[in-house]
Chains A and B, each alone.
Chain A
Amino acid sequence: MTSSEASVPAGAAKTGGTQSTRLFIRQTSGLVRELGIPAATGISLASVAVVNTFINFNAGLTDFTKSDMYLPLVAAAVIWLVAMFAYRYLLRAVPRAGGEYVYLSRIVSPAAGSVAGLGIAVVFTYVLSTNAHFAAQFTPFMLSGLGAAFHSTAVANAGNHLTSNIAIAWLSVVVMLIVAALSLFSVKIVARIIFWLIVLQVLAFLVLIGMLAFNSHADFTSALATYSNHPGAFQDIINTAKSNGVVFGTSIASAVAIIPFMVLNYNGVLYSYYVGGELRRPGRTYLYASAISIGVLVVLWIGVWALLRARAGLTFMQAQANLGVINPTAYGKITSLSSVAGGLGYGMVLSSDPITKILFATAVPLAEIAVNLAFLTVTTRVLFAQAFDRLLPVGVAKISDRNHAPNVAISIVLVIGIGFCFLTSLVNLGSIVALQSLFFALILLAGGIAATALPMRRADLIPTPGLPDDARRSWLRKVALVGGATTVLALFTIYELIAHSSVYGKFSWESILTLVIVLGAGPVIYLIARQVRRQRNSLDLDMAMRELPPE
């Protein structure tokens, strides 16, 4: 039984010649597990945390002056679009589940795959904590919204007591514990929980679009004044920001610098390759699903940004986001609207009924819980793989007899994740978003390198049936070219992250140590495990990655 046979075409359509040939398939297990374009598109879109775009909009507005999102949104889409073709070739060559770990193992070397695998496990654990941190940061906004929905001043004001670093750290821990507790249910139930959390955040996003579309700029300024109980709040925020040194307008340099935030925004849009083994005609299905998903997100996000600009105005958004950071006291005197909530906050201002208030208030925390539930599964799976490769104790992969869940792996991820929660809240590890951006840029780089190396190292995996040698060589060059372009674009993203390290993560000893741990964990654990096993006269780990000669 397998899913990999999905790449074998079942039956055939007539494409020419005097009589159509076909493939005869016998009755065996696993031949018909095929996902089509709609299912693959659903997977891609569900992998994108749609409401996180407001977090990234806010990061762009506060970290760079004269920020606008049109160019970053389009440029990031182009980067993913190029990468989409590179992954298409990888998927056609290796139509398996597993993503970069599998591609690097097959194409570069098993060792590179294993090292990348452990790096992914460590970083994913870190990402779990940063997502929990995001959810914690939005707790005051959530309580404020829920207070407004239920007409409870106590609930609304409770958020004001949850803004200190230590409070955010503990809230992050609570989010991690909720995620861990939900993970102990069966996989089916967890999947249902994720589904409904995704539905809620998409619903909030769509309602927000509707509100922005059906209200005018005047409606917004008036609603803000009412919400803030401060006539002229709109103009006062702009004036106060100006007097506090906030610079308005747009600049190309700023837009280019924001691209990494938007690269992160689209992360997940190609994830149907992670289920490559399940796709019908994987290359084609993945390509259509990814192109449709990128198209939908470009339209949706650019549309939302255009609506935000039309209703609130770029000057107001720049003023509000920056004033909240530069002079929170002055900002707080004008309005109680969270400065980090961006579009969701504007939705809250415009909303007049409790249901939409609850939707907006809970969208980000629920989205982060959904993302973390999915990440926890992936992280435990990667830990499993390391345990099976003897890099970690086998007990890490133990499945509980009682609930059939990987309790040990979940506990490990939980403990490390909680540690990261405190570090991200209490220690300056650099910009949290930035480390995520850097990590996903590195993953993209790994994909680009694998695609570039594909025609050189495993040309045998690239199917070009019937092509003459010259045409095949040309095809292989095309694969290398697309892989190379993806590599260059990933390097550009990494360059931007490093060039703007003051925003994306300062090179302090803490941030460098974090990076060293993340990137060096794989090789270090491999070397330690190998040495320990050698001393015990156990099987040499090197044996696990030895290339077998077929002849």
Chain B
Amino acid sequence: MWGKAKGSKKRALRIYFATDLHGSEVCFRKFLAAAKVYEADVIILGGDFAGKAIVPVLTENGSLRARVGGEEITVPESEWGRLSGDLGKAGLYPVRMESGELARLSGDEAALGRLFRSEIAAQMQRWCDLAAERLDPSVRCIITPGNDDPVDADPVIAAHPRVECPELELCDLGPVTMASLGVVPTTPWNTERECSEDELSKQIEEMLEQVPSGQPCILNLHCPPYASGLDDAPELDDTLKPVIRGGRPSIIPVGSHAVRDAIKRYQPVVGLHGHIHESRGVQKIGRTLCVNPGSDYSSGVLRGAVIDLAQDGSCLDFLLTTG
């Protein structure tokens, strides 16, 4: 009743999958801890690791001034550690600066973009170093980008000896081969990695055509399949505000047709998805188990999925986790 018994098959690989941390320091630390707590062989961070906002912290006469949660606050300079820690937990980038620099950034989008990219790259470097420091050598750590992650961050991860970044590549996990792609179909926000459904379909197909015949595979595609129940998000109007119908925000599927078609055609063992934080769930499309663990990074809660695979690549069991 609670899932099919898999007979005498033994677990050959345990994957822990999480996604959409959006710069949350506390969630990334939990992600690393998950390897030990859940006894995972591979931990995968499936995209949207970059934070979304910079909090300028003005230095004035020995005090620090910043806008946090809609309110302007002033704390002694000695409180910098606590302030930056609190902001980092929520996925914000605190940056100390003088008032002149703040004024300059306010009017210079290019400079602001560079600052974002540099903060994100610096954070990724710190995270990779932390992974090297904390993870058991036997645990593989894979971080792939999502649509909100700047492309400049990829080389930082790829260059790190402890972390793998197999974006748009096949990755051998032992019993299965994993194909990863962080690009999503066009969104209203014109984010870093978007393309048309046709282009997405082509990219997925090119990867999957390389999987050796008979080799079971899993897909690590940031965007969930269309109308799968893993892609329910509020419908937006032209001003990007939620549409209200019947006294509730109208919820519609916003996933990818290309991803759904690929899953139907190739029937991978598992589909690992993210992108839609509040559409946490599991669905079967044909024989494929599709998972979106959701995200609750702003509360400092790490949502994830533990997936057990057998030596023949079949999926033995799964569990969505909240930690």
For A545, the closest partner residue in chain B by CB is B322
Which of the residues B38, B73, B89, B233 comes within 8 Å of A465, measured between beta carbons?
B73
Do the beta carbons of B190 and A27 come within 8 Å of each other?
Answer: yes
Q: Which chain B residues lie closer than 8 Å to A547 at the CB level? A: 323
Do the beta carbons of A25 and B99 come within 8 Å of each other?
Answer: no
Nearest 4 CB-CB pairs, A to B? A46-B247, A466-B73, A194-B246, A548-B323
From B121-129, B157-165, B199-207, B236-244, give the one contacting chain A.
B236-244
Do the beta carbons of B70 and A275 come within 8 Å of each other?
Answer: no
Do the beta carbons of B56 and A539 come within 8 Å of each other?
Answer: no
From A125-133, A185-193, A328-336, give the one contacting chain B.
A185-193
Q: How far is the CA of A149 from the CA of B70 in the complex (A)?
A: 56
Contacts A187-B251, A394-B284, A406-B229 given: A21-B56 contact, CB under 8 Å? Answer: yes
From A384-392, A444-452, A479-487, A492-500, give the one contacting chain B.
A384-392
Do the beta carbons of A24 and B53 come within 8 Å of each other?
Answer: yes
Q: Is B141 an interface residue (CB 8 A)?
A: no
A-B CB contact pairs (8 Å), 23 listed: A4-B277, A12-B67, A19-B102, A21-B67, A23-B56, A24-B56, A24-B112, A32-B241, A35-B249, A43-B247, A46-B248, A187-B251, A194-B245, A393-B2, A394-B282, A404-B227, A461-B300, A465-B68, A536-B2, A538-B3, A543-B38, A548-B30, A550-B26
Do the beta carbons of A33 and B242 come within 8 Å of each other?
Answer: yes
Do the beta carbons of B248 and A544 come within 8 Å of each other?
Answer: no
For B70, the closest partner residue in chain A by CB is A9
Which of the residues B69, B105, B189 comes within 8 Å of A28, measured between beta carbons?
B189
Minimum CB–CB distance for B307 against chain A, Å? 9
For B292, the closest partner residue in chain A by CB is A388
Q: Which chain B residues lie closer than 8 Å to A191 at the CB level? A: 245-246, 248, 250
Q: How far is the CA of A393 from the CA of B283 in the complex (A)?
A: 11
Q: Which chain B residues lie closer than 8 Å to A461 at the CB level? A: 299-300
Do the beta carbons of B228 and A15 come within 8 Å of each other?
Answer: no
Do the beta carbons of A548 and B34 come within 8 Å of each other?
Answer: yes
Q: Is B213 an interface residue (CB 8 A)?
A: no
Which of the residues B2, B5, B29, B282 comes within 8 Å of A551, measured between beta carbons?
B29
Q: Is A249 an interface residue (CB 8 A)?
A: no
Q: Which chain A residues in 80-138 approach chain B with CB under 8 Å? A: 94-97, 105-106, 110
Which of the residues B70, B92, B246 comes within 8 Å of A46, measured between beta carbons?
B246
Do the beta carbons of A390 and B3 come within 8 Å of each other?
Answer: yes
Q: Is A243 an interface residue (CB 8 A)?
A: no
Do the beta carbons of B70 and A97 come within 8 Å of each other?
Answer: no
Do the beta carbons of A1 and B248 come within 8 Å of each other?
Answer: no
Q: Is B151 an interface residue (CB 8 A)?
A: no
Contacts A21-B72, A539-B317 given: A188-B250 contact, CB under 8 Å? Answer: yes
Q: Which chain B residues in 58-80 approach chain A with CB under 8 Å? A: 58, 60, 65-75
Q: C-beta contact mask, A1-28 vs B, less than 8 Å → 1, else 0? A: 1111101110010011111111111111
Do the beta carbons of A31 and B67 come within 8 Å of each other?
Answer: no
Q: Which chain B residues in 137-173 approach chain A with CB under 8 Å? A: 147-148
For B117, the closest partner residue in chain A by CB is A26
Minimum CB–CB distance for A161 against chain B, Å? 34
Do the beta carbons of A388 and B241 come within 8 Å of each other?
Answer: no
Q: Which chain B residues lie closer than 8 Å to A277 at the CB level? A: 278
Contacts A35-B242, A43-B248 given: A17-B301 contact, CB under 8 Å? Answer: no
Contacts A1-B275, A549-B33 given: A15-B281 contact, CB under 8 Å? Answer: no
Q: How far is the CA of A18 from the CA of B245 in the complex (A)?
A: 45
Q: How far is the CA of A397 from the CA of B229 in the complex (A)?
A: 9
Q: Is B295 an interface residue (CB 8 A)?
A: yes
Do the beta carbons of B229 and A388 come within 8 Å of each other?
Answer: no
Q: Is B44 an interface residue (CB 8 A)?
A: no
Do the beta carbons of B296 and A548 come within 8 Å of each other?
Answer: no
Residue positions of B touching A, CB distance < 8 A: 1-3, 5, 20, 26, 29-30, 33-34, 37-38, 50, 52-58, 60, 65-75, 86, 89, 92, 99, 102-103, 105-106, 112-113, 115-116, 147-148, 187-191, 227-229, 233-236, 239-242, 244-254, 275-278, 280-284, 295-302, 306, 308, 316-323
Do the beta carbons of B72 and A393 come within 8 Å of each other?
Answer: no
Specify which of A21, A33, A45, A188 lies most central, judged by the most chain B CB atoms within 10 Å of its CB. Answer: A21
Do the beta carbons of A20 and B72 come within 8 Å of each other?
Answer: yes
Q: Is A460 an interface residue (CB 8 A)?
A: yes
Q: Which chain A residues lie closer than 8 Å to B234 at the CB level? A: 3, 33, 278
Q: How far is the CA of A30 from the CA of B147 in the complex (A)?
A: 12
Do the beta carbons of A541 and B296 come within 8 Å of each other?
Answer: no
Do the beta carbons of B53 and A23 come within 8 Å of each other?
Answer: yes
Q: How far is the CA of A5 from the CA of B277 in the complex (A)?
A: 11
Q: How far is the CA of A460 from the CA of B26 in the complex (A)?
A: 12
Contacts A1-B277, A4-B296, A19-B58 given: A105-B246 contact, CB under 8 Å? Answer: no
Do the beta carbons of B189 and A31 come within 8 Å of each other?
Answer: yes
Specify which of B2, B229, B276, B320 lies most central, judged by the most chain A CB atoms within 10 Å of its CB. Answer: B2
Do the beta carbons of B300 and A541 come within 8 Å of each other?
Answer: no
Q: Which chain A residues lie closer than 8 Å to B58 at the CB level? A: 19, 21
Do the beta carbons of B299 and A96 come within 8 Å of each other?
Answer: yes
Q: Which chain B residues lie closer than 8 Å to A39 at the CB level? A: 242, 244
Which of the residues A2, A34, A110, A550 comes within 8 Å of B20, measured between beta carbons?
A2
Q: Which chain B residues lie closer than 8 Å to A548 at the CB level? A: 30, 33-34, 37, 302, 323
Specify which of A29, A39, A110 lies most central, judged by the most chain B CB atoms within 10 Å of its CB. Answer: A29
For B285, the closest partner residue in chain A by CB is A401
Minimum CB–CB distance for A527 against chain B, Å? 12
Q: Which chain B residues lie closer than 8 Å to A550 at the CB level? A: 26, 29-30, 33, 300
Q: Which chain A residues lie closer than 8 Å to B2 at the CB level? A: 390, 392-393, 529, 532-533, 536, 538
Q: Which chain A residues lie closer than 8 Å to B50 at the CB level? A: 28
Q: Is A198 an interface residue (CB 8 A)?
A: yes
